[in-house]
Structure 1
Amino acid sequence: MSDYTFMTTEENFLLREALKKNKQQLTKFFLVGVTLLFLAAIVPQLYLYTRHTSIDADQSKFSYTNIWFWVWLFSFIIALMFALIKVTDIRYWSIKKDLTTLQKGLIQAPLEAIYVENNDTQTNLSIKLETGRKRLFYWMRGQLEGYRAGQEVEISYARYSRIIISIIRK
């Protein structure tokens, strides 16, 4: 791996496009999370207070007056956050840092594995370095065709987010 160099204007625009896609993805999944949270908090209350007397509803574990409801709701929020992070693989903050520093790296190594994610809008490439460590790189412009595990590639990438700016087969 070589030292980091500065990005060109075109590479900066590619990174801005990746940031825009990640921002849209972040907004979409935030709205999904708020909707699910709203449903998890309101639907049990509506059911309890329309089907039962207020005394019976207040004694239920799903009543907002019971501590177990709040434990359940906070557990739901934490599980939802981890699920959305796992599903989206958001790189928003590291892309913003890349746009500030404008540094790119260059690596030449064989592909370890290729994964297509987020409804074929992103391809993740795993590279095995000479030290034995594996690094994950991200192609944000859809499905990357024609690349297979074991092929030697040269990747130009943004330093912090490891978003691929260009990739060439060797």
Structure 2
Amino acid sequence: MKIVLENQDSTVMSTFTPSARNDGSYQSEAQLEEEFINILQSQGYEYAHIHSEKDLIANLRVQIEKLNDYHFSNDEWERFFKENIANSTDDIVKKTDTIQRDNVKILKKDDGVDKNITIIDKENIHKNIVQVINQYAVNANDNANDNDANGSARSNRYDVTVLVNGLPMVHIE
């Protein structure tokens, strides 16, 4: 392996030779999932035991609080979550814009003072918290707004999901 360029954040190699699998046996989906999670953990991803929407929302709050070094009151979190994260009037374009461009939201604190809340830190990307979860289930009954093109509700279970600051960014099947 010859390294072409290396810095603190990345390495570029001219040739990469993957190590051969010695066992020659079949790898089950569960084994593949576990191996993938282990690889992500070795790269700094934190494994989180999250399997329901309730757990996901609780984790999201914790991660946003860590990122912003701020503790929401329950009323502040409810307002912030409903207005900025799970706004029922936001379509996919608006949600994408929140991640890509409008990543700092304004929280009206209980005392009336405005506070900037960063959802994804684009200035200091290493401050973002990356996590991995597996077997996360979304039940059709949990989210009435999750309808397919025909208007029917869907249930899904994702094998592996990557979270950035508690937000599910990548679902892997």
TM-score normalised according to structure 2 size: 0.22
- Bigger Cα Rg: 1
TM-score normalised according to structure 1 size: 0.22
